[in-house]
A and B are shown apart, each in its own frame.
Chain A
């Protein structure tokens, strides 16, 4: 799996958009970008994934650059409940079951 790099922490005001960046410059053509988050004392929660097109679901939007070397997770209207550690992972979509490797992620603090 390609290595990903994220800033250790970010702040966002409630109601504003939170833009969380991820660098994955060595990503290969068949690796998707996945985002998870982990709210304190809970298990990680899958948010969204994409290959090269931008993706949107009810939780977030994912913007992947054209060269696929970086991506941004966007929470359009952050709330206090979005305070969590956000993880970006690059890996193949199919294949045998194996572990997910979570890095250190970005700790997002949403404030009033």
Chain B
């Protein structure tokens, strides 16, 4: 079974803090994704990566950065957390087929 593991299920941070969300997949997938999910807005893509050290902006990259130093790991960084970044963050990975993505359980981040 494909496994996508996110480092935390719940996280509480203060405004201005630097926040790291980690995601690891065990299926040697080339592609990895970070989404956020908010009520009424659905899933929105923040960043994705199609190879080590490669990244592409999604729909809402402002306030975020990413790092992919190893194929299995994709990190999302909130440089200076703000309250409007309170959300559910979902990591996903895939092979070449863009239609089949495997998601982690999500990290519910609260920024106070």
Contact = CB atoms under 8 A, between A and B. Distances in A.
Interface residues of B, number: 29
Q: Is the interface of A mostly helix, strand, loop or mixed?
A: loop
8 contacts: A41-B108, A43-B90, A45-B103, A92-B98, A97-B56, A97-B96, A99-B48, A101-B43
A101 B44 CA distance: 8
A99 B99 contact: no
Q: Is the interface of B mostly helix, strand, loop or mixed?
A: strand
Contacts of A52: none
Given A96-B50, A97-B31, A97-B94, 20 more contacts: A41-B108, A43-B105, A44-B92, A44-B103, A45-B103, A46-B102, A49-B99, A94-B96, A94-B97, A94-B98, A97-B56, A97-B96, A98-B48, A99-B45, A99-B48, A99-B58, A100-B98, A101-B43, A102-B42, A103-B42
Contacts, number: 70
A100 B99 contact: yes
Nearest to B45: A99
A24 interface: no
A29 interface: no
Nearest to B44: A99
Contacts of B74: none
Interface of A: 32, 34, 41-46, 49, 89, 91-104
